[in-house]
């Protein structure tokens, strides 16, 4: 059964969608069957994956309006092991309807039951808000991956996000775990980076992943061409970093399975 990981933080400009798209693609490169789901009404993942409106037959809008099954909304991508469900919320009316229906916290969780066995990983790109569809996504998730751009404002947001995680555990998903905190737009030897890492280690050291994602103009450039970086320039530092992140997550989850088997 596939592990569901939401990429979530209530702050824009920290590499959330970039991480969702490139992590999903990197898991696919590692030959892990992966489904990327965009639940952000802005639909940035579709742009990053090269899906224009004419290429989208259905998406998250139909799932939440109960007009199409989740299987119908799945799109094939250029990567053999990667499938994609877009956020096709392209009008104010649809946005308002989607916001109302997403208050039903279990729509996505129930829909995913149909396809979870088909995948090793399901990656959900959440909007930068802590309500509505994000609550729906975390209710459906096994864990949450938190992208943090080095800087004081992002650190403040992490505190609020953990409060939100505790609330989700209380109301709808007691098993929700933290997959980890990933530092994005990482500038080695920067004073801001040094301070941010120190503050994060003081409070959240147990969640910090070993992989960091370096600042790279190629990540934005690849998005412009509608490709994950591993398909645009596989030997770039950014592509290698996301591949390392994918393997770190794979290894961490394999180790957890081994530990559970040892307990049994």
Pairing of strands 82-85, 75-76: antiparallel
Does some domain include residue 31?
yes
Residue 258: pLDDT band (50, 70, 90) is very low
DSSP 8-state symbol, 67: S
- The pLDDT of residue 256: 66
Give domain status of residue 263, yes or no.
no
> What mean pLDDT, rounded, does the chain reach?
89
Predicted pLDDT at 262: 42
β-partners of residue 257 are none
What stretches of 187-241 adopt beta strand conformation (E)? Answer: 208-214
- CA dist 93 and 83 (Å) reads 27
Give dist(CA 142, CA 173) in Å, integer: 9
Q: Judge whether 264 lies within some domain.
A: no
pLDDT tens digits for range 127-173: 998 888 899 999 999 999 999 987 766 778 899 999 999 999 999 99
pTM (2 decimals)?
0.92
Full residue range of the structural domain in which residue 172 is found: 3-258
Of 97 and 257, the one with more pLDDT: 97
- Stated as kind and residue range, the H or E segment containing 252 is helix 237-263
CB atoms within 10 A of CB 65: 13
In a domain, 150, yes or no: yes
Q: Of 141, 133, 122, 65, which is closest to residue 97 (Cα–Cα)?
A: 65
Decide if pLDDT at 44 tops 70. yes
CATH code, domain carrying 76 = 3.40.50.300
Structural domains counted in the chain: 1
Q: Are strands 75-76 and 121-125 parallel, antiparallel or unpaired?
A: unpaired
């Amino acid at each position: 059964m596939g592990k569901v990981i939401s990429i979530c933080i209530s702050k824009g400009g920290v590499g959330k969608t970039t991480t969702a798209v490139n992590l999903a693609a990197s898991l696919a490169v590692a030959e892990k069957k992966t489904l990327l789901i965009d639940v952000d009404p802005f639909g940035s993942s579709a742009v990053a994956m090269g899906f224009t409106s004419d290429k989208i037959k259905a998406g998250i809008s139909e799932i939440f309006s109960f007009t199409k099954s989740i299987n119908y909304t799945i799109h094939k991508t250029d990567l053999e092991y990667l499938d994609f469900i877009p956020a096709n919320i392209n009008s104010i009316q649809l946005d308002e309807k989607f916001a109302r229906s997403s208050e039903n916290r279990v729509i996505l969780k129930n829909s995913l039951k149909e396809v979870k066995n088909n995948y090793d990983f399901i990656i959900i790109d959440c909007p930068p808000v802590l309500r509505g569809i994000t609550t729906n996504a975390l209710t459906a998730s096994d864990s949450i991956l938190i992208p943090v751009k080095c800087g004081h404002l992002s650190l403040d947001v992490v505190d609020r996000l953990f409060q939100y995680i505790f609330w989700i555990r209380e109301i709808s998903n007691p098993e929700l775990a933290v997959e980890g905190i990933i530092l994005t737009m990482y500038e080695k030897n920067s004073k801001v980076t040094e301070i941010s890492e120190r503050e994060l280690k003081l409070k959240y050291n147990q969640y910090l992943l070993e992989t960091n994602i370096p600042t790279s103009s190629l990540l934005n450039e690849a998005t412009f061409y509608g490709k994950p970086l591993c398909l645009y320039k596989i030997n770039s530092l950014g592509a290698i970093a996301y591949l390392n992140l994918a393997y770190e997550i794979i290894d961490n989850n394999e180790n957890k399975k081994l530990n559970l088997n040892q307990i049994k």
